[in-house]
Amino acid sequence: MRLIPALTALALSAACSFTSAARAADNPWPQKPVTVIVASAAGGSADVLTRVVLTHLARETHANFVVDNRPGAAGNIGMAQVKRAAPDGYTLGYGNINTLAINPALFSKLPYDARQDFVPVGRMFSIYNLLVVRADSPVKNVTELIALARKSPGKLSYAAAGTGSSGHMGGELLKKMAGIDVLFIPYNGDPASLTDLAGGRLDYTITNASVAWPLVKSGKLRALAITSRERVTLYPNVPTLNESGLKGYENVSWGGLVFPKGTPQPIVDKLSTALEKVLKTDSLRQDLANANAVAATGTRADFIQFITSEQKKWADLVAAANIPKQN
């Protein structure tokens, strides 16, 4: 567990002093540190970005947030821990595209029910994927990639960081919408797949933009498209697949906060309101942009609706692509 520091000593001091009797009487929550279970390893993008948001939330709510990293089993271990936590407002969970939307369709059995066991608080950020090829690839754009795949069905291969990852789902969505037959090769993380791509052992990958972009800037890889519906200001010269002929294509990694089922509604509402407020600030938006992420917009109700739509989208794709169920 690691304490999330406020951006300044003054802000941290204010957070610690929140236990004063007068303020506690007006604001019954929080009166002790809030544990945030992040179902991924420390130092990864989910962990880093969550800590960025929590730093700003600490100033707004006068809470001390403590991150508890619980990686393993595609995030299922950590989310099961959130489910089992006391619903008293002092345990939060980091929920994302995998644990809340893809895993329910991909796994034959989960230790939690993504639809019933959690109370969504709000979406924090989006992380986009890039479709990249090696720098000397003859393929210059998405149209040429699709044409090559159609010309040689079953010959091209793409990679992503594991079965069920957002890159894998994005690749399967590309296959479905473009009507192409390509081979998916799962890798244990992005670095290995990008090394093989640069070395000519793969034809393309769909991977986290924050990981691939430095290699694009250095000239080792070429970005054909970004997986957002509209162009992203962080990568203004990279076209979307949506504008490259695949109308409606979107594949976005996202992360948000959830409470265990049964958490008192006033606490949920208070944190949700605070999150929505800090996400509109220039300082947090810039901090997330510096980490190659985009601050989320919308209300708690929007997040609930978004989770529902994502669950249906990826369940339909898993079924259509005949992706084997994971144990």
Please check whether residues 123 and 226 belong to one and the same domain.
no
Which CATH number does the domain housing residue 178 bear? Answer: 3.40.190.10
CA separation (Å) from 216 to 199, 211, 225, 279? 14, 10, 12, 29
Please check whether residue 327 lies inside any domain of the structure. Answer: no
Q: pLDDT by residue (tens digit) across 250-287?
A: 999 999 999 999 999 999 999 999 999 999 999 999 99
Distance CA 231, CA 130 (A): 12
Distance between first and last Cα of the chain = 29
CB distance 109 to 76 below 8 Å: no
Q: Given a cut of 90, is residue 27 above it in pLDDT?
A: no
Residue ending a domain, choose from 195, 215, 244: 244
Which amino acid, one-letter code, is at 120? Answer: P
Residues 120 and 132 in one domain: no
What total number of domains does the chain contain?
2
Q: Which two tokens stand for residue 35?
A: 């544990």
pTM: 0.86
Owning domain of residue 31: 2-127+253-320
Cross-strand pairs, 268? none
pLDDT digits (tens, 9 = 90+) for 121-178: 999 999 999 999 999 999 999 999 999 999 999 999 999 988 899 999 999 999 999 9
Tell me the per-residue pLDDT of 209-260, one tens digit each, with 9 for 90 and over.
Answer: 888 999 999 999 999 999 999 999 989 999 999 999 999 999 999 999 999 9
Domain match, 138 and 223 both: yes
Q: How confident is the model at residue 6 (pLDDT cuts 50, 70, 90)?
A: very low
Of 183, 209, 244, the position where a domain reaches its end is: 244
Cis amide leading into 30 (omega within 30): yes
Question: CA torsion sign, 168 to 173 to 175 to 176?
Answer: positive
